[in-house]
Structure 1
Amino acid sequence: MRQTDLPGFLGRFYTLFCLLLLSGLAGCGKRFSHSVRQVPAPVPVAATVPDYTDSTLTLAAGEHYGRSRLHTFLYGKHYRSVWTTPVEVPVLDIGTAYGGLEPLQMGGSRQTINLRLQDSTGTEYVIRSLDKEPASALPKRLQKSYLADFIRDATSATNPYAPLALPAMAEAIGIHYLEPELVFVPHDPRLGEFMDKIGGTMALLERRPAKDQSDYDPMGNASKVKSTRSAITERLTDNDSHFDARLFLRSRLFDMLLGDWSRHEDNWRWAEEEYSDKAYVYRAIPRDRDNIFFKMDDGPVPWLLQRLGVKPHFQSFHKRISASRLEKLNRSGRNLDELILARLSWQDWQQIADSVQQALTDEVIEQAFTALPDTIHALTAASTISKLKSRRDALPQMARSCYATLAKKVQVVGTDKHERFAVEVQPNGGILVRVYKMHKDKEVQQLLYERLFHSSETRTLELYGLGGDDVFILSGDARPGMKIKVWGGSGEDHYEANSPKPASRLQIFDSKYRNRLEVPRKAKVKLSNEQNVQTFNAEGWLLRYYLD
């Protein structure tokens, strides 16, 4: 921090301190302990199973989010009225739902109470509590503190019923999706050991994206659904396998329309399709849509926290979003974006953005929101629909902004098999990159990757060979309009450059072990046996990702 910035920083800090002090006083007398349960267990708990046929219950998802005027002024209105408004909810009968469901195990993050169940065919479902307990991530001694209440209250920035509106829109734009349904989980003795943890809870019930989904169209009728760890491992260890980048981009553009800031690696699953012997393509299945249509900056405390840089990716859902805010919104998904979308040109982005925009008509959007409970639709639908339509109209500009951010530095990542990277410098300084599958004897087998990079878009081009014996050929007579950085990784690699002009912007990083370099002196070569493990092979590269 520059010295001249200090007074402004101290002023903002003092303002924040005063706001937190006032809000602390506003919350005095509250009991800082919570449960995601809406209905406490009866005393005594029924030993027999009641008849839940066609039963419903009318209750609010989170009465505790209704706060004093002072508290609401300081922290914002958020979706407090949504949380405190009663809705009619079907009571879940696990004995008859989907032919009967058997509880398996608790799961999920520390914030959401999850219960996995399965039907008689082995198809799994998951119950996810509507309310959250983010303060459970705090040290135990702080879980009943004012700080816990502060963090818990931020859940009111989300609309708990919003995921119900997504299936119709996702189907219209041609991406995979889940179909959540709103249920109330009673204190049912058939829940067994799990009754105390999830009984009395409003929740979303949906298919669990795992295993065999061949009978389920929303997940692409995939015979196998894999975790992100499994899909990335396959992609990095075998150059016959790849991600469906175009479908992934459709999903990511939908994320941006929804304002979904939580798209880290664990919030995806992948429909696996074997298209040749032991070669797979992975198609994205988004999951965990808890943070769409976020409303956080309508109070002075959260507004100031954002200005101080606290959780910058927590971007509120507005009609318009600037390029800088869009970049922050996409921050949690950046790792997957860089790996998967690196093969797509701007023409690809433009084509897909136009397609998504045209498919998401006013009628599709308006019909999708009829899936919300009537009382919630009356409270939120008009405002949310208006903002969503505005963002849809601006989707080509949003796509261009996101593309420009990713294009500044592009990573072309190989595998632990053998690849040939052909880097051809164009007369205008652009670079054409082709990556080929290569046999052990250096014979080229097939083209795996091709993209033309423009100096007006890209500043740095990074090539990673990972494992295997790779070949990097730099050709052309012009000086590149961008830096070219190459990490050979493990294996015995071969580097070749036929002219000093392209080599002047070439940097090579590899080990001292049995690599062959035929490059001009102008190339910058750094050989060391202490390379960063993340650039060494597939196993090291996996350390870059947030994986369960």
Structure 2
Amino acid sequence: MRTVTFLLSIAGSLGLAGCAKRHYFQRDAVVPAPSAARPNTADSVWATAGRQYAQHGFVNTVLVGRHHRAAWAAPVRVPVLHLATAWPTAGPLTPTKLGGGFQTTSLTLKGADGRSYALRSIDKDPSRILPKFWQRTFVANALRDATSAGLGYGALVVAPLAQALGVPHTHPRLEYVPPEEQQLGSAEANQRLRGKLALLEEKYSSKRAYSPLLPQATDFLSDEDMRKLLYEDPHYRPDQPALLQARLLDVLVGDWDRHAGQWQWALSPDPAAPATRHLFAPVPKDRDQVFFRLADGTIPWLLTRRVLVRHLVTFRHRYHDLVALTGQGRYVDQRGLNELTQRDFVAAAERTRQRLPDSVLARAVRRLPPAVYALEGPRLLRDLQARRDALPAVAARYYRLKAERPVVAGTNQPDHFVVRRAPDSTTVQVYSRTLGPDSLYYQRTFYTRETKRLTLEGLESRDLFEVSGARGLRLVIHAGAGPDVLRAPSRRRLRYEEEANGRLNRPEPKNKHEQFYPYDRLEDE
């Protein structure tokens, strides 16, 4: 609703009225060859990702913004999609499922190698998230136009950066889907993808998937499936250093859209105990919002000043509004970075800075198509260099932000939370009551100077919360299905919440990614 309100404000300011354009999008990505030196062939064409975004005058540019409009309209040379040869090492690709939610069209393909791939449209139609009435109005036009704030080719730049940092990633390839294509599996898929530019990339969603950066991985799971295992058995733990590295990459490239649904997880044996313990390493996906540029117009600049659409953070050479930039990933951060210290954050940022010298950044930016590089490349390179150099200081701020209200979760098995409180610190240890006193699987000391509130979460088990010390930081305990036991000599600065009538007396989850722990609320920020 905030985005809709934002776009209504823009439309009203521009005096827009009437109905949505019937033919808003370009009918075919192919552009006529400007000269005989730039012909289209059977194997490649000159095309644009979205010419319609550049068809605006001076007033619109001043009020709404220049965004990345010129890049969307820049002619690029791309291969024509042939499913038999599009991914040579995979063999012929066979369409299996059309998806992609309400904006991006995504077609899942299965290769002869048994692995899955995705064909994802670069352009989007976000108007489909609107109620049907508004889809027929000027609001649809405004919402569609906001797509130009994203850099459609940004995923091409992120891949080499991720490779240099050891963050698992896809290898996206530009493809043009010809208008006569009839082999996409369904009439709807043919209709929604024909004549468009798309990215073809791997999917990390099954045991057959493979990443050279994760050679020991035995399976790849969605975020929801990962958390089911994580909360079922203490032998499964998140790879917190790996997640931190991935999140620092998100911060570097300005990717604000990192909610729980934007991650896959690779299951691998824990090197410290490969026979008994397992780690979940993060695999980021859907790099649609990197290098986002919205607040370069008068109206969006005003409305992103911590009003309405604060989370739509514009990529600049300087970091700004770190709360908003990392806010969509708050749920993942709270439960995936809660063992790491400020020293860990700063050290990881320093490694990131060292692994991304100017030569690596320059090669990454050169992955943009030549015409797009001419428009965006030099500025993007300068911005990345500045953000890279500032990353260690930003990582310290990032840590302090995440240290304010950490969450420590148990499992569905009986757990023993041991909490030792002191005026300047609180130490938490979590054991499995089923596995015995040698089963410590979490330990961390939180300091009062950094942490305002510490939350402990019990699940569907007979948990024991043992709290010693009468002073310390504010402690909130969410008991699970129980019956649980609290042993505390003092209830000072301690809130204990039990399940009532078979359910916790808490608000319902905002979305499916919070179904296991519906306590991640933003009212405290």
Same fold by TM (over 0.5)? yes
**Structure 2: how far apart are the matches of 1:229 and 1:491?**
23
The CA distance in 2 between the partners of 1:261 and 1:229, in whole Å, is 20
Q: TM-score, normalised by structure 1?
A: 0.84
Q: Does 1:486 align with 2:482?
A: no
- Note the 1:413-424 alignment, pairs <5 A: 413-424=409-420
* 1:62 aligns to 2:62 (yes or no): no
How far apart in 2 are the matches of 1:407 and 1:55?
A: 53
Cα distance, 1:508 vs. partner?
2.3
- The answer as to whether partners of 2:465 and 2:485 remain within 8 angstroms in 1 is yes
How many Å apart are 1:480 and its aligned residue? 2.8
| Residue among 332, 336, 340 paired with 1:340 | 336
Structure 2: 5+ residue runs without aligned partners?
31-39
Matches within 5 A, 1:77-116: 77-98=66-87, 99-116=91-108
Moved more, 331-340 or 212-221: 212-221
C-alpha distance in 2 between matches for 1:108 and 1:387 = 31
SS of corresponding position for 2:429: strand
- Offset, 1:446: 1.5
**Residues 481 and 534 of structure 1, relative CA distance in 2, 3 Å threshold:** same
Secondary structure, aligned partner of 2:164 = helix
Mark the CA change 1:272 to 1:534 in structure 2 (over 3 Å): closer, same or farther. Answer: farther
Cα separation, 1, equivalents of 2:508 and 2:299 = 42
Structure 2 matches for 1:20-31, cutoff 5 A? Answer: 20-21=11-12, 23-24=14-15, 31=21
Report the alpha carbon displacement of residue 467 of structure 1 after superposing the two structures with TM: 2.1
Of the candidates 301, 309, 317, which is equivalent to residue 319 of structure 1? 317
Distance 1:192 1:226, change over 3 A: closer
For 1:43, the equivalent position in structure 2 comes to none
**Which residue of the partner structure matches residue 505 of structure 2?**
532
Q: Within 1, Cα distance between the matches of 2:226 and 2:98? A: 24
SS at match of 1:489: coil
Please, which of 72, 94, 118 is the counterpart of residue 126 of structure 1?
118
2:256–2:289 Cα contact (<8 Å) kept: yes
In structure 1, give the amino acid aligned to 2:483: E
**Equivalent position of 2:496 in the other structure:** 508
1:214-293 matched pairs, under 5 angstroms: 215-218=210-213, 220=215, 222-275=217-270, 279-293=277-291
Question: Shift in Å at residue 452 of structure 1?
Answer: 0.9
Q: Please say if residues 74 and 300 of structure 1, whose CA atoms lie closer than 8 Å, have aligned partners that are also in contact.
A: yes
Alignment check: 8 A CA contact 1:177 1:285 kept: yes
- 1:94-122 C-alpha deviation (Å, 9 max, x unpaired): 12223211111211121011111111122
Partner of residue 37, structure 2:
none
Q: Give secondary structure in 1 for the equivalent of 2:304.
A: helix
Q: What is the distance in 1 between the residues matched to 2:107 and 2:409?
A: 37
Q: Which residue identity does 1:120 align to in structure 2?
A: A
| Distance 1:124-1:480 versus aligned 2 partners, 3 A rule | same
Distance between the aligned counterparts of 2:26 and 2:340, measured in 1?
A: 43
C-alpha displacement at 1:301, in angstroms?
2.0
Please give the alpha-carbon distance, in whole angstroms, between the structure 2 residues aligned to 1:368 and 1:415. Answer: 41
What is the percent sequence identity of the aligned residues? 32
CA contact (8 A) 1:241 1:280 kept: yes
CA distance in 2, matches of 1:366, 1:539: 39
C-alpha distance in 2 between matches for 1:129 and 1:53: 22
Structure 1 distance, partners of 2:163, 2:306, is: 39
* 1:24–1:146 Cα contact (<8 Å) kept: no
Give 1:268 deviation, angstroms.
0.6
Structure-2 change in CA distance of 1:32 and 1:332 (3 Å): farther
Displacement of 1:506 in angstroms is 2.7
Larger helix percent: 1
CA shift digits 1:354-380 (9 cap, x unpaired): 111211111111111111111111111
Alignment of 1:363-512 (within 5 A): 363-426=359-422, 428-439=423-434, 443-476=436-469, 479-497=470-488, 499-500=489-490, 503-510=491-498
SS at match of 1:330: helix
Q: How many Å separate the matches in 1 of 2:438 and 2:53?
A: 61
**Pick from 278, 291, 294: which aligns with 2:292?**
294
Deviation of residue 530 (structure 1)? 6.3
Match of 2:24 in 1: 34
Question: What do the CA deviations read for 1:288-322 (whole angstroms, capped 9, x no partner)?
Answer: 11111111111112122223712211010111123
Q: Which residue of 2 aligns with 1:9?
A: none
Q: Deviations over 1:437-494 (max 9, x none)?
A: 2227xx3232111111111001111111212222222234xx5331122222122323
1:156 alignment counterpart: 148
RMSD of aligned Cα (Å): 2.9
Larger radius of gyration: 1
Per-residue deviation, residues 400-442 of structure 1 (Å, max 9, x unmatched): 112111111111111111211111124x5211111112227xx
State the one-letter code of the partner of 1:81.
A
- Report what 1:173 is aligned to: 165
Distance 2:289 2:161 in 1: 17
CA distance in 1, matches of 2:440, 2:203: 36
Q: CA, structure 1 residues 321+417, in 2 after alignment: closer, same or farther (shift >3 Å)?
A: same
How many residues were matched structurally? 495
In the TM superposition, residue 71 of structure 1 has moved relative to its aligned partner by 1.8
Structure-2 change in CA distance of 1:163 and 1:539 (3 Å) = closer
